[in-house]
Amino acid sequence: MQSIDLTGGFPLSDAFARPIRYLRVSVTDKCNLRCVYCMPEGGLPWLRREEILSYEEIARVVEAAASVGVRAIRLTGGEPLLRRNVERLVAMIASLSEIEDIALSTNGLLLDEQIDALASAGLSRVNISLDTLRPQRFESVARRPGLEHVLRSIDAAIARGLHPVKINCVVMRGRNDDEVEDFAQLSRQLPVHVRFIEAMPVVEYAEAQREEFVSADELLDRLRTIGNLQPIDGPVGNGPARYFSFPDAAGTIGVITPLSHDYCDRCNRIRLTADGRLRLCLFGDHHVDLRTLLRAQATREDLAAILRRSMLIKPERHHLRLGEPASRMRALSEIGG
């Protein structure tokens, strides 16, 4: 394979002049919850061990991405903390001087017991998924117990200084939309950034989504009835949320709007799947097989060249529509930065 040195060239950007600075890395496809909007109750066909990238292979992709301008990494899943010793991958990424931000998206069930190792390895911050503050409802939405573990993880993240601590809440009419005001109050009491995410029409949830969809505009109107909610600049991050706050609040409120107000014109991300595919759009099928290249001993420069060429097939926008399924289910926490 011919080696091409592109590290001295222009930073990575796509065909629509959008700079790509953010790589999301799925370290596993497995999850210990079965959230109604995210996964069938019986789970999905899981990848075999040999199909999943090793930490060393992931680090090689991150190093190549850093060489062409990527500066922020987010570790996701499935549930990333199900994979053993993920702090080892954090340390490998943190050793790259170009990487400025290493974040983790998690459902929080295992975070409190791993947080010290992750923070010591170089983790910058966390996003924690939480759709209800009520134990019985948690089991109904997640199809598993565990609310107390998630709440402990939020406290642990605050105590360990992994700021900003972001809480991602998928809002569903008739399931949890009556808790919107309670979540908003969290931002007044705690230094957390509560982000409300519009439910999206992935395959197994498309029909329910027609009935359960709540737009961000409706949410904000409701929240303005309990306080003087004002737009503000958001906390550190790489995602698409718009932020607001109440006067004297310890945290903020954000909204993520893949349907009512898409943010494709500001897309700055690409995603590496657990089995080594580079996805150019979270909701599309455009992808490049990096695993084969990695296992053929591609160099950093080879991988950098592929990253640049992949920008030619990154689509301008997704085409999600209310009630129309996009693809197989994916965690909605995937879209938050």
pLDDT in tens, 63-110: 999 999 999 999 999 999 999 999 999 999 999 999 999 999 999 999
CB 278 within 8 A of CB 24: no
Q: Hey, what amino acid is at 249?
A: A
CB 179 within 8 A of CB 219: no
Query: Could you tell me the two tokens for 311?
Result: 């920008």
Rounded Cα distance between 78 and 330, Å, is 8
Phi, psi of 88 (to 5 degrees): -65, -40
266-300 confidence digits (pLDDT tens): 778 899 999 999 998 876 677 899 999 999 999 99
Query: Could you tell me the two tokens for 207?
Result: 């029909």
pTM (two decimals) = 0.89
What residues contact residue 131 under an 8 Å CB cut-off, 6+ apart?
A: 35, 138, 141, 142, 169, 170, 172, 175, 176
220-275 confidence digits (pLDDT tens): 999 999 999 999 998 877 677 899 999 999 999 999 976 655 556 677 889 999 99
Chain-centroid distance, C-alpha 329? 14
Q: Across the chain, what does the average pLDDT equal?
A: 87
The fraction of the chain above a pLDDT of 70, given in percent, is 83
Residue in the block written with tokens 């759009």: 281
Q: Hey, what amino acid is at 233?
A: D
Report the CATH fold assignment for 22-335: TIM Barrel (3.20.20)
CB 105 within 8 A of CB 80: yes
Task: Determine the 3-state secondary structure of 123 from DSSP.
Answer: coil
Rounded Cα distance between 113 and 111, Å, is 5
**Alpha helix stretches (DSSP H) within the chain:** 55-67, 86-94, 111-121, 135-142, 147-159, 180-189, 206-212, 216-223, 291-295, 300-310
Could you count the other beta carbons within 10 Å of the beta carbon of residue 53?
23
Rounded Cα distance between 153 and 193, Å, is 15
Residue in the block written with tokens 């006067």: 247
